[in-house]
Amino acid sequence: MTDLDLLDGELYSPESPGYDLVRRPVDPRYGDVRPQYVVRCASVADVVRAISSARSSNLRLVPRGGGHCFAGRSSTDGVVLDLSNLNGLSVDPDGIATIGAGARLAEVYSGLHSAGRALPAGCGATVGITGLTLGGGIGLIGRKYGLTCDRLVRAQVVLADGRIVECDEDHEAELFWALRGAGGGQFGVVTSLRFATIAEPTACRIEAYPRDDVEQLVAAWQTWAPDAPDELTVDLALIAEPGEPLRTRLFGASLLNETATRALLRELVDQVDLVPAMPYHRLKSSFSDPPEERVMRSRSEFFSRPLSDAASLLAEVGTPSKSRRELSFTAMGGAYNRVAEDATAFAHRNERFLLDHVGSTDDPWIDASWAIAHRDGSGRVYPNFPDAALDDGPTAYHAGNLARLRVVKRTYDPDRFFDFPQAI
């Protein structure tokens, strides 16, 4: 890859100072993967050059925005295309934000706040805006404002043949459709995104640790949370620590005033802590926990109906364990579900909640717990939570949109240069 000596950015190989620092993704499961090269791009021209060089050298290339992919798709023994320096952000007078593909969520929220704007997106400070958007983008105000990808109005993409294309509803429309929810890295390297932002709202932070009967709480939450007003997002976590009783945590955000929020929450639980209304970017940072060194694994699924056997699920999570376990329920409904399934590549528009089973990589509980819940599951899986254990990942991620996505793949990446397990 000698032609990469002409890069505007930086080129790292195993012999380079700083290589170990730049090669590692956030997910420690893939921390030992050693790429032949890490290209830290400073321009779109670097992206074009790196793709051309990787192809001519017969090396696999993967883009990395945040490095949080559960399936390690931002790691390779070939070429990692590090986009972290492509992190610029600007907002025009109409509230359209142009954001570089390497921006992380903390940078995005801070930059948008400076312009009095915001986006519905996730909580992790170091999560990349691009990966989040391309797989959908569920967040604490999404029930009011939709997925992150629903706010996308334009994207710049470098294709495998080196072409730079701008896509929106009127230009390269099929590619633009696919980028909104099919998951990242399948069609090309996205280098910048344009979003229709919202005026930054104020929001109350919701947190509670109910001591109610857990099975009753799970049943009540499944009925109540997906149908709550759009302005209210309340998620539920069940946490099992070794040697401790199962504990519950409710958390979320409200765009309503404190009085209205408390009145609604009393329909679910008696006691809840509310942090008074604050600017949205501050609320997001309050939920961003410091990264943990523990190596974790998760499996998840969407549900369009309540669980029929919550008791068995609770019994399974409560079996003795040497490590932490968590069942995480995320409320859907609201604006998520007022978009047609084929309007964007994100096909999961009729789901009530998402259930994620999280534990240590060697804990067989994850698969046992997932199997119990799967009896009532929709068979659909969030593209941003890829699961190597699925029998048919593409169908689970894309459902009825899969056939159309495969046409887009053949059109824009006919040689399957951007390929990985469970790709379209």
- Average pLDDT on 191-218 reads 95
Pick the closest to residue 156 from 187, 183, 119 (CA basis). 187
- Average pLDDT on 177-197 reads 97
Please tell me the predicted confidence (pLDDT) of residue 211. Answer: 86
Q: What is the pLDDT of residues 391-422, one digit of tens each?
A: 999 999 999 999 999 999 999 999 999 999 99
Please tell me the predicted confidence (pLDDT) of residue 289. Answer: 53
The rounded distance, in Å, linking the Cα atoms of 185 and 422 is 12
Please tell me the predicted confidence (pLDDT) of residue 161. Answer: 97
Q: Which residue has the tokens 């072409």?
A: 163
CATH number of 2-82: 3.30.43.10
Please tell me the predicted confidence (pLDDT) of residue 71. Answer: 92
- Helices and strands: H and E segment counts in the chain: 13, 18
Q: What is the pLDDT of residues 8-27, one digit of tens each?
A: 899 999 999 999 999 999 98
pLDDT for residue 3 is more than 70: no
Quick one: 52 exposed, middle or buried, by C-beta within 10 A (0-12, 13-18, 19+)?
middle
Beta strand 198-199 with 247-254 is unpaired
Q: Which residue has the tokens 């280098």?
A: 191
pLDDT for residue 2 is more than 60: no
Crossing angle, helix 310-317 and helix 365-374, to 10 degrees? 180
- Average pLDDT on 336-347 reads 98
CATH 3.30.465.10 residue ranges of the chain are 89-200+399-412
Phi, psi dihedrals of residue 317, rounded to the nearest 5°: -65, -25
Quick one: 18 exposed, middle or buried, by C-beta within 10 A (0-12, 13-18, 19+)?
exposed
- Average pLDDT on 133-160 reads 98
At the second CATH level, the architecture of 202-397 is 3-Layer(aba) Sandwich (3.40)
Give the per-residue SS3 of 189-202.
EEEEEEEECEECCE
Q: For the chain, what's the residue count?
A: 424
Q: State the pTM of this model.
A: 0.96
Please tell me the predicted confidence (pLDDT) of residue 5. Answer: 63
Looking at domain 89-200+399-412, does it have CATH number 3.30.465.10? yes
Please tell me the predicted confidence (pLDDT) of residue 291. Answer: 46
Please tell me the predicted confidence (pLDDT) of residue 414. Answer: 98
Please tell me the predicted confidence (pLDDT) of residue 283. Answer: 86
For the chain, what is the mean pLDDT?
94
Which DSSP letter does residue 127 get? S
Query: Quick one: how far is CA 191 from the chain centroid?
Result: 18
CATH 3.30.43.10 residue ranges of the chain are 2-82
Which DSSP letter does residue 281 get? H
- Structure token pair of residue 398: 């894309």
CATH 3.40.462.20 residue ranges of the chain are 202-397
Q: What is the pLDDT of residues 250-308, one digit of tens each?
A: 999 999 999 999 999 999 998 888 888 899 988 877 775 544 446 789 999 999 999 99
* Secondary structure element (H or E) that encloses residue 165, with its range: strand 164-167
Please tell me the predicted confidence (pLDDT) of residue 6. Answer: 64
Q: Are 248 and 236 in contact (CB under 8 A)?
A: yes
Which positions ≥6 away from 255 have C-beta within 8 Å? Answer: 141, 144, 201, 202, 203, 231, 232
Q: What is the pLDDT of residues 28-86, one digit of tens each?
A: 999 999 999 999 999 999 999 999 999 999 999 999 999 999 999 999 999 999 999 99
Angle among Cα 226, 230, 231 to the nearest 5 degrees reads 125
